[in-house]
Amino acid sequence: QVQLVESGGDSVQAGQSLRLSCVVTGYTYAKRCMAWFRQAPGHEREGVASITGDGREIYADSVKGRFAISQDNAKNTLYLQMNSLKPEDTAMYYCAAGPPGLRLETLLPEWYKYWGQGTQVTVSS
């Protein structure tokens, strides 16, 4: 059974940094894709960053140059380093994993099969 558990969300001031973590169990495939999404109240879920098992990455334009996605295979953990946070980054952040064998960096939620419960990030000005 695949499980994704996010952590690291917090309330911070604009300009500060946070690192989100997502511990993944039951999902150890070389050919894979994983991603971070976010959803603010009244808004649709938005893809933030995606990474494949071989390290190909893609980012939403709104976070390029500020956020970085990474993975530690030994720890089965996905990370999202968020720097220079802005109030508009406030949202619930979700970790997602694609079906086994899909090696595609994509920010489209319909490609992802497994989802975590989310961790809240609040950025105040």
Place of tokens 């980012």: 59
pLDDT, the chain, mean: 95
Q: What is the pLDDT of residue 28?
A: 82
Q: Is residue 64 predicted with pLDDT exceeding 90?
A: yes
- Bridge partners of 21? 7, 79
CA angle 16, 64, 3 (to 5 degrees): 80
Mean pLDDT to the nearest integer, 83-92 = 98
Q: What is the pLDDT of residues 7-53, one digit of tens each?
A: 999 999 999 999 999 999 999 887 889 999 999 999 999 999 999 99
**What span, in angstroms and rounded, lies between the C-alpha atoms of 105 and 6?**
20
Q: What is the pLDDT of residue 29?
A: 83
- Residue 17 CA neighbour count, 13 Å, CB half: 8
Residue 5, both tokens: 């558990």
* Eight-class DSSP state of 84: S
Q: Is residue 103 predicted with pLDDT exceeding 90?
A: no
Q: What is the pLDDT of residue 88?
A: 97
